[in-house]
């Protein structure tokens, strides 16, 4: 499991770097266009693709880093319990509990 | 799509902002808010450690815990047979009415005065201290932003808003013609306030005290009920006894033999519960069938009815 | 035939844990997709549509990789996997969208 988690973290860093790189490229490109006084009409397709790829890389890394989902049905939980935990032996059953005093108080 | 989007950029890029604003206002405000949030969380942990060493008396704890006992009976009463449920119900309602579990039974009918009761005072001060510790950083940061960073436009919001927000979002800059999307630093503060909440959950784990929203809701709840901390337990006990009296009871394990047998395929699922004689007869018949069938047959039946 | 009480049908700690995992995934993804939306220069409706698309993509990833296409095992209502935590992520999406849009497109 921890192999997947550390691989996920590594992928996360790669995704972050890719995102940062695409952000910087966009900024540089826009500065260039503003300097040349051209209207920013077209963004190079590579930057857009790089941005989207970084999202995908990040998504995969987050899925790897996040823990597994646990099953919620009580049925599945009960399959993991041994009979000793669930069905108490009659040896250790106490009958001398406070219900006796409650019953006498009520009646 | 990139063509369309960027042409709207070109028309609306009417303002050019100094990058110094970005370096000295945008990023610092965000960094400060993150750091203050983390600081608040750590301080709450420190303060919380101090408060938990105060010991409460046994009777005081009993007072509040017995209410939980009543609630547990109400919620899970269907797990125990009717006789046990009735026993507990009668015992608890009598105890609540007679005030058996109260801290000082003599003060049953008097109204609790929070000023004279020393423990109540302590609890109220604790709660108020925590609230104030939360609200102060927020107001301080808001004042700091208003003082230093007002009078200029900070950033352009990517999404359009109606004109009503103009007065709120463009606090220092009174120009009637400017787009509502150009906003001042105060709105950046509000944006951060809402947006950083989930980041705090990421950084600090669940139940962190860096959340501004939770205390605001808690504050509004407290002002609604002024008799907050020194609660009148007698009234609560009486209310609980009424709730208990109204709870219906139907034992969940009433037909458990039915359910178990039909789950393992020894008996068809019947909607109607039989009369006692037929019940016993059917059980015997099924028991005989069960012991004589082969293990394969048992397995097949189990698989058939086990899929839910 | 009597039905089981809801409280005893589900293990509540596991439900809480699952919600925590989902919230973690969604808030991280909201931050990243918000930054991407700012970088790409999306404005107005396009930004919110992008959020819808990416949260659908995130839900699909959760549904396939984490829940193994059987969401009924992990959530009370199987359809929750598509909607849980989406609204909470919206605010951080908008924050990062504004931040990156401002840094990349607005400033000189």
Q: Is residue A11 part of a domain?
A: yes
Residue of C nearest to A68 (CA): C66
Q: Are residues B130 and B266 in the same domain?
A: no
Q: Is residue C19 part of a domain?
A: yes
Q: Are residues B237 and B280 in the same domain?
A: no
Q: Is residue A77 part of a domain?
A: no
Q: Is residue B3 part of a domain?
A: no
Q: Which band of pLDDT confidence, cut at 50, 70 and 90, is reported for residue B295?
A: very low
Q: Are residues B30 and B120 in the same domain?
A: yes
**Chain A residues bordering chain B (beta-carbon distance below 8 Å):** 39-43, 45, 48, 99, 102-103, 105-106
Q: Which is it for strands B182-183 and B155-156: parallel, antiparallel or unpaired?
A: antiparallel
Interface subset of B 180-209, CB within 8 angstroms of C = 188, 191-192, 194-199, 201-202, 206
Helices B185-204, B212-224: inter-axial angle, 10-degree rounding: 100
Q: Are residues B267 and B249 in the same domain?
A: no
Number of domains in chain C: 1
pTM of the model: 0.71
Per-residue pLDDT averaged across C22-35, rounded? 92
Q: Is residue B5 part of a domain?
A: no
CA distance B162 to chain C (A): 12
Q: Is residue C37 part of a domain?
A: yes
Per-residue pLDDT averaged across B134-161, rounded? 83
pLDDT in tens, A11-66: 999 999 999 999 999 988 888 887 887 766 667 788 899 999 999 999 999 999 98
Least confident interval from B135-144, B275-284, C30-39 = B275-284
Q: Are residues B194 and B299 in the same domain?
A: no
Least confident interval from A35-44, A51-60, B153-162, B191-200 = A35-44
| Domain housing A26 | 2-70
Is residue B5's pLDDT more than 50?
A: no
Q: Are residues B67 and B214 in the same domain?
A: yes
Q: Is residue B166 part of a domain?
A: yes
Q: Is residue C22 part of a domain?
A: yes
Number of domains in chain A: 1
Q: In whole angstroms, give the CA distance from residue B13 to residue B5.
A: 13
* Between A70 and C31, residue with greater pLDDT: C31
Q: Is residue A106 part of a domain?
A: no
Contact A39 B10 (CB under 8 A): yes
- What tokens were used for A104? 């006498």
Q: Are residues B125 and B186 in the same domain?
A: yes
Q: Are residues B100 and B211 in the same domain?
A: yes
Virtual torsion, Cα A11, A14, A19, A22, nearest 10 deg: -140
Per-residue pLDDT averaged across A84-101, rounded? 70
Res C5: pLDDT: 57
Per-residue pLDDT averaged across B3-28, rounded? 66
The winner for highest mean pLDDT among A77-81, B206-210, B295-299, C85-89 is C85-89
Res A16: pLDDT: 93
- For residue B197, which residues of chain C lie inside 8 Å, CB to CB? 91-92
Three-class DSSP category at C44: coil
pLDDT in tens, B63-121: 888 888 888 888 888 888 888 888 888 888 888 888 777 777 666 655 555 555 566 66
Q: Is residue C76 part of a domain?
A: yes
Domain closes at, from B238, B253, B268: B253
Q: Is residue C55 part of a domain?
A: yes
Is residue C93's pLDDT more than 90?
A: yes
Q: Is residue A91 part of a domain?
A: no
What's the Cα-to-Cα distance from C25 to each of A75, B151, B211, C37, C47, rounded to whole Å? 27, 39, 19, 18, 20
Number of domains in chain B: 2
Q: Are residues B249 and B260 in the same domain?
A: no
Q: Is residue B6 part of a domain?
A: no
Contact C106 B17 (CB under 8 A): yes
pLDDT in tens, B228-261: 444 577 888 888 888 888 888 888 888 888 888 8
Q: Is residue B199 part of a domain?
A: yes
| Domain housing C17 | 11-106
Q: Are residues B294 and B191 in the same domain?
A: no
- For residue B206, which residues of chain C lie inside 8 Å, CB to CB? 20
DSSP A37: T
Contact B94 A106 (CB under 8 A): yes
pLDDT in tens, B123-139: 667 667 777 777 888 88
Contact A59 C62 (CB under 8 A): no
Residue of B nearest to C17 (CA): B206
* Between B262 and B53, residue with greater pLDDT: B262
* H or E element in which residue C24 lies: helix C12-40
Q: Which band of pLDDT confidence, cut at 50, 70 and 90, is reported for residue A71?
A: confident
Domain closes at, from B212, B230, B253: B253
| Domain housing B294 | 256-306
Per-residue pLDDT averaged across B143-166, rounded? 81
CA distance A42 to chain B (A): 6
Q: Is residue C97 part of a domain?
A: yes
* Between B160 and C96, residue with greater pLDDT: C96
Res B287: pLDDT: 55
* Between C77 and A55, residue with greater pLDDT: A55
Contact C54 A73 (CB under 8 A): no
Q: Does B9 touch chain C (CB under 8 A)?
A: yes
């Amino acid at each position: 499991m921890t192999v997947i988690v550390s691989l996920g973290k590594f992928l996360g860093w790669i995704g972050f770097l890719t995102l940062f790189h695409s952000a910087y490229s966009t900024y540089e490109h826009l500065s260039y266009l503003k300097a040349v006084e051209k209207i920013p009409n077209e963004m190079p397709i590579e930057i857009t693709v790089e941005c989207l790829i970084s999202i995908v890389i990040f998504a995969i890394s987050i899925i790897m880093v996040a823990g597994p989902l646990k099953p919620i049905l009580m049925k599945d939980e009960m399959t993991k319990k041994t009979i000793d935990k669930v069905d108490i032996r009659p040896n250790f059953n106490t009958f001398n509990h406070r219900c006796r005093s409650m019953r006498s108080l009520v009646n | 799509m990139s063509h369309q989007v960027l042409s709207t950029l070109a028309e609306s890029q009417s303002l050019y902002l100094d990058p110094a604003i970005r370096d000295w206002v945008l990023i610092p405000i965000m960094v400060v808010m993150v750091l203050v949030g983390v600081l608040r969380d750590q301080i709450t942990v420190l303060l919380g450690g101090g408060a938990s060493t105060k010991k409460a008396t046994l009777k005081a704890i009993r007072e509040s815990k017995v209410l939980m006992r009543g609630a547990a009976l109400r919620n899970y009463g269907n797990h125990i047979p009717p006789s046990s449920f009735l026993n507990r119900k009668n015992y608890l309602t009598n105890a609540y009415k007679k005030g058996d579990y109260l801290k000082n039974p003599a003060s049953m009918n008097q109204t609790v005065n929070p000023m004279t009761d020393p423990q109540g005072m302590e609890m109220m001060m604790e709660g108020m201290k925590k609230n104030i510790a939360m609200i102060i950083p927020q107001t301080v940061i808001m004042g700091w932003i208003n003082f230093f960073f007002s009078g200029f436009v900070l950033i352009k919001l990517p999404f359009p808003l109606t004109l009503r927000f103009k007065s709120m979002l463009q606090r220092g800059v009174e120009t009637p013609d400017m787009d509502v999307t150009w906003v001042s630093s105060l709105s950046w503060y509000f944006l951060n306030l809402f947006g950083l909440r989930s980041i705090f959950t990421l950084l600090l784990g669940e139940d962190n005290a860096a959340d501004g929203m939770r205390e605001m809701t808690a504050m509004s709840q407290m002002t609604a009920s002024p008799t907050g901390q020194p609660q009148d337990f007698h009234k609560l006990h009486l209310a609980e006894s009424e709730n208990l009296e109204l709870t219906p009871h139907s034992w969940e394990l009433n037909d458990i033999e039915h359910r178990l047998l039909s789950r393992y395929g020894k008996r068809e699922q019947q909607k109607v519960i039989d009369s006692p004689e037929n019940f016993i007869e059917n059980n015997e018949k099924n028991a005989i069938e069960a012991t004589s069938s082969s293990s394969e047959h048992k397995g097949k039946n189990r698989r058939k009815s086990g899929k839910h | 035939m009597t039905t089981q009480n809801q409280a005893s049908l589900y293990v509540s700690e596991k439900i809480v844990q699952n919600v925590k995992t989902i919230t973690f995934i969604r808030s991280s993804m909201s931050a990243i997709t918000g930054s991407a939306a700012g970088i790409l220069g999306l404005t107005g409706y396009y930004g919110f549509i992008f959020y819808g698309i990416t949260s659908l993509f995130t839900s699909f990833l959760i549904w396939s990789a984490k829940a193994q296409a059987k969401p009924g095992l992990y959530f009370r209502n199987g359809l929750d996997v598509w909607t849980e935590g989406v609204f909470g992520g919206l605010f951080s999406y908008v924050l990062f969208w504004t931040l990156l849009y401002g840094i990349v497109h607005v400033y000189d």
